[in-house]
Structure 1
């Protein structure tokens, strides 16, 4: 009883496989960058939203007041949070208008 020969891979198939794998990995980079940006901007927006009502109370002791650098960092976080919220509202409005046009 003769055994059938093991099929051999075509020459260069290992190289082709490596190239395809590299292309697949590189094509995922923009997607992963967008996911990281979304998570980071959401975190900044939530933190800025939390600090907004917390800043109304104010410190009990003058020594606990934040420095100028912390004020500027807080202002930057608030601006980024408001920008993220505005872009989100704009996107949802566009999506809603597009869905209304498709259904009509």
Structure 2
């Protein structure tokens, strides 16, 4: 089966408490919330989908280029972030997401997305 966009991602659910050891089967793994956008990346052809199902690859040419060599049919689900000297910058990510075709390559150099 090959997944093609749009795909509805599973969303995290906030909890007031952490489950006690052994409360759930398997091992519990926790991840801090990144200050970014949820995104799905599809290969062959490369497509970047937002959480709300919009295709958003145009503002992020460096991610499209990096994904070009990945195996066909791969889907990556993760958080799209922009790192600055102070850490993750949601403001910089918003600037990148709003970039037009003309400014996207320049911003990809200045504020690369991960």
Fold similarity call, TM over 0.5 = no
Which band: TM-score by shorter chain?
A: under 0.3
Give the number of the structure whose residues are more often strand, by fraction.
2
**Greater relative contact order, per chain length (Cα 8 Å cut-off, separation 6+):** 1
Higher helix share: 1
Question: TM-score w.r.t. structure 1 length?
Answer: 0.25
**Which structure: larger Rg?**
1
